[in-house]
Amino acid sequence: MKQLIVTLCILFAVLPGYSQTAIDLAKSGVEKAKAGDYENAIKDYDKSVLMDSSNAAVYYNRAVSKSKIKDYAGAAADYSKAISIQDDADSRYNRALVEIELSNYKAALEDLVKAEDAKKDKANFWFYKGNCKFMLNDLTNAIPDLSKAIEMKADFHQAYIIRGLSYLGLKNKTAGCADLQKAKELGSVRADIYIQKYCL
């Protein structure tokens, strides 16, 4: 009986109808990613795109897994490939996030602008947009974006910090220190460091 089972397994393995398809491998990658096994998920996505390089979703999902293991350059490349096949706001937004990790703030801002219609109801969107402008030293235009983030999420201490630093960069110490104080009240240790440096 054991020999029969082994024989059947070998037979199924060599029959063309039982080989994994690109879709099978993509689904396997998704399941492994859901389980936190990002390295092996990426291996399945690699095999899938070798069989079918026209599926934007596979590149998108591989980019997500690469982001999880901090391969930001690889993730950006995969998001770019997904966008070249099917341009959408999620791919643009997520590529912006990995570009921020790579300190490519100009590229990130360009993607955020293109994703704005779909993402403008999220506080994080306005924070990332404002933060990119801050990092590019566009302080005047960073402030309205950060203010929108705060309007949507009143306890957004990171937004208070970056807006406060923007005000300070524009020589508005009163507004800047008020924002830093608010961030401190919301529990930010980092804000207190800036207060000690700029406001006392």
Give me the tens of pLDDT residue by residue for the chain, a chain 200 residues long: 334 333 333 333 333 443 689 999 999 999 999 999 999 999 999 999 999 999 999 999 999 999 999 999 999 999 999 999 999 999 999 999 999 999 999 999 999 999 999 999 999 999 999 999 999 999 999 999 999 999 999 999 999 999 999 999 999 999 999 999 999 999 999 999 999 999 99
What pLDDT was estimated at residue 101?
98
As a whole number of angstroms, the distance between CA 96 and CA 102 comes to 10
Q: Sign of the CA dihedral 101, 103, 105, 108?
A: negative
Dihedral, CA of residue 39, residue 45, residue 112 and residue 157, to nearest 10: -30
With b for 16 or more beta-carbon neighbours within 10 A and e for fewer, the 176-197 pattern comes to bbbbbbbbbeeebeebeebbee
Would you say the pTM of this structure is higher than 0.95? no
Q: How many CB atoms lie within 10 A of CB 87?
A: 11
Which among 103, 90, 145, 96 has a CA at the least distance from the CA of 123? Answer: 145
Domains of the chain: 12-115 (1.25.40.10), 120-200 (1.25.40.10)
HSE-CB for 129 with a 13 A CA cutoff:
27
Burial of 146 (0-12, 13-18, 19+ CB in 10 A): buried
What pLDDT was estimated at residue 19?
66
